[in-house]
Amino acid sequence: MSHRLASFKGPSTPSSSPVPKQTTKSPAASPSRAVESTYHRKTRAALLELRGLTEFWEDLVLLDGLKAARSLVDARTDLDNALALAPNRLPRQRIVAPKIELMEKRIAELDLVILKLQKQFRKMNAAVDGLEAVLIDAHRAKGCQWASEEPLWVTWSLEKFVTAIPALLPPYHRSLNSHIALVDTLRSHSVSFEDARDALAKWIEQPWLEDDGWEAAWEDLCTAEVDKCYDAGINAFDTANIYSNGLSEEVLGRALKKHSIPREEVVIMTKVYYGLSRDPNETLLNTDMEAKGYVNQYGLSRKHIFDSVKASLRRLQLDYVDVLQCHRFDDDTPIEETMNALHDVVKAGYVRYIGMSSCYAYQFHAMQNYAITNKLTPFISMQNHYNLLFGVGAIPWSPLARGAVTRPIEQQLKGAQTTRAETDFMPPTVYTQHISNRTVIERVEEIAAKHGAKMAQIGIAWMLAKEGVSAPIFGTTSLKNLFEAVDAIHIKLTAEEIKYLEEPYQPMPVLGIGARD
């Protein structure tokens, strides 16, 4: 729909006036102003109608569509697992019949969703037609001048006015534009249910982010994921000032506001250490910042800690964050200065607790010991690299080894990559180059088949079974992957399975400690 709006063309200059302009001064209440006001009201009403219809369409896709498609995939998986695991002595018809019946039920549910989508698109197209009619009438009225002065909006061509409309519909127009192929398929009267199902299934399998990097500003989809996380019982959200150069904090803050998520029911964690670039499309490491003039705008100095915390609160639209974590250890700032500054931001009410991330054990011990000895605020958490292939921690980052434990090792060795690995600064070979890790990945695949689960779910289930793990941090670019990750809480690994998964592990080099990691 935004595609139609943006491509609509109208005359760029007013038509000649059928009424000569008066030479006398116009009255205070000009009829042209009344016309302008009338069409502004009509345009606003049409935009609000279109926005409401668009929101409902988004709900159909994000809720009903994904749920129905996911249920169909689950039913097919149940059938495959039943055939693979059933004893050979059982008749295949006895195994297949109930599974096929369930799949037919799921297909009927998906067909119903597609019918709803088609009906909603007809309503949305009618709303677009109505909006275009209002704009055409408004443009024609521009030529009828009863007064010597012109309304301000007369100087706008219709093309300029129409192409500006998508900006009035954030964030919905972006997703509408991205789903144009799906839209065309569902709107076509010649498309069969089978083709429509295939189109929806292909669309669901695509990554949400359609940018060159994982940092794409798809706010509507990001906020939807925050809402679904909250509904699923996830109450801790971890971000950092450097993620997407501050955009991550902004989107999270707007998501909390948009969905009216109670502040007291969630834990918001952010980080301090890295600085931000003045260029929104550039992410700088600290080693690059001083050379570019960013003096005192990075690290764990008192100045940067206070400046960074206040900036994070502005982006998050919050009065405080629950946990402020030092993203890296600062070799250039005395521990005394850092720990006193962290204590002071807690006392000032900007922060409730402090934590550490990605440092050596002796560095953590030195900072924590100084805080305790001097009766300052101590760290309550440690966020380190931790997964089936790597190390120990409490708030683990990269619990799925950047996708390494979510795909069969044969695929990875042939060059197949996850969506994140295609743009990630850390190459996937950092995991798969180790023979012991390949064995671990093979065993994850084996256990997943045994449970009828995804490999990613086994990776998360293993982590949740480990003592001391508070909240594994995982990132996702689709609601489908989010739902699968949440389902991992229902998978309980036996002690034998955990031992079997961990047996090939060998100590790994440290990752994610230095300023460039």
Task: Give per-residue pLDDT as tens, 55-72.
Answer: 777 677 667 776 777 677
User: Residue written as tokens 């063309």?
Assistant: 9
Is residue 13 scored above 90 in pLDDT?
no
Is residue 328 scored above 50 in pLDDT?
yes
Residue range 209-222: mean pLDDT, rounded: 51
pTM of the full predicted structure?
0.47
Query: Which of 250-254, 370-374, 407-411, 430-434 has the lowest average pLDDT?
Result: 430-434
Residue 465: per-residue pLDDT: 82
Q: How far apart are the first and last CA of the chain?
A: 43
Ramachandran class of 459: left when φ > 0, alpha when ψ lies in -120 to 50, beta otherwise: alpha
Query: Which of 313-317, 402-406, 420-424 has the lowest average pLDDT?
Result: 420-424
Residue 329: per-residue pLDDT: 94
Say which residues have a Cβ less than 8 Å from residue 325's Cβ, sequence separation at least 6.
240, 269, 270, 271, 272, 354, 355, 356, 357, 381, 383
Residue ranges of domains in the chain, CATH in brackets = 2-18+30-205 (no CATH), 384-517 (3.20.20.100)
Q: What Rg do the C-alpha atoms of the chain give, in angstroms?
A: 28
Say which residues have a Cβ less than 8 Å from residue 8's Cβ, sequence separation at least 6.
132, 159, 162
**Tokens standing for residue 171:** 């964030």
Pairing of strands 351-357, 267-272: unpaired
Residue 389: per-residue pLDDT: 47
- Per-chain mean pLDDT for the chain: 71
How far, CA to CA in Å, does 408 sit from each of 81, 354, 474?
18, 38, 19
**Tokens standing for residue 49:** 């109608």
Say which residues have a Cβ less than 8 Å from residue 281's Cβ, sequence separation at least 6.
245
- Give me the phi and psi of 150, to 5 degrees please: -105, 145
Task: Give per-residue pLDDT as tens, 333-350.
Answer: 999 999 999 999 999 999
Distance between CA atoms of residues 264 and 396, nearest Å: 24
The pLDDT confidence band at residue 85, using thresholds 50, 70 and 90, is low
CB of 134 closer than 8 Å to CB of 162: no
Distance between CA atoms of residues 240 and 162, nearest Å: 38
Task: Give per-residue pLDDT as tens, 439-498.
Answer: 888 888 899 999 988 888 888 888 888 776 766 767 776 667 777 777 888 889 999 998
**Tokens standing for residue 411:** 């695929």
High-pLDDT (> 70) share of the chain, %: 56
Is residue 216 scored above 80 in pLDDT?
no
Say which residues have a Cβ less than 8 Å from residue 249's Cβ, sequence separation at least 6.
239, 240, 241, 243, 270, 312, 315, 316
The pLDDT confidence band at residue 291, using thresholds 50, 70 and 90, is confident
Which of 434, 460, 433 shows the shortest CA–CA distance to 447? 460
**Neighbouring-strand partners of residue 383:** 357
How far, CA to CA in Å, does 384 sit from each of 64, 335, 457?
37, 20, 20
The pLDDT confidence band at residue 288, using thresholds 50, 70 and 90, is confident
Burial of 252 (0-12, 13-18, 19+ CB in 10 A): buried
CB of 261 closer than 8 Å to CB of 230: yes
Residue 317: per-residue pLDDT: 96
The pLDDT confidence band at residue 435, using thresholds 50, 70 and 90, is low
Catalytic residues: 243
Read out DSSP for 397-461?
B-TTGGGTTSS-HHHHHTT---TTTTT-SS-THHHHTSHHHHHHHHHHHHHHHHHT--HHHHHHH
Is residue 413 scored above 90 in pLDDT?
no
Better pLDDT: 353 or 175: 353
Residue 168: per-residue pLDDT: 36
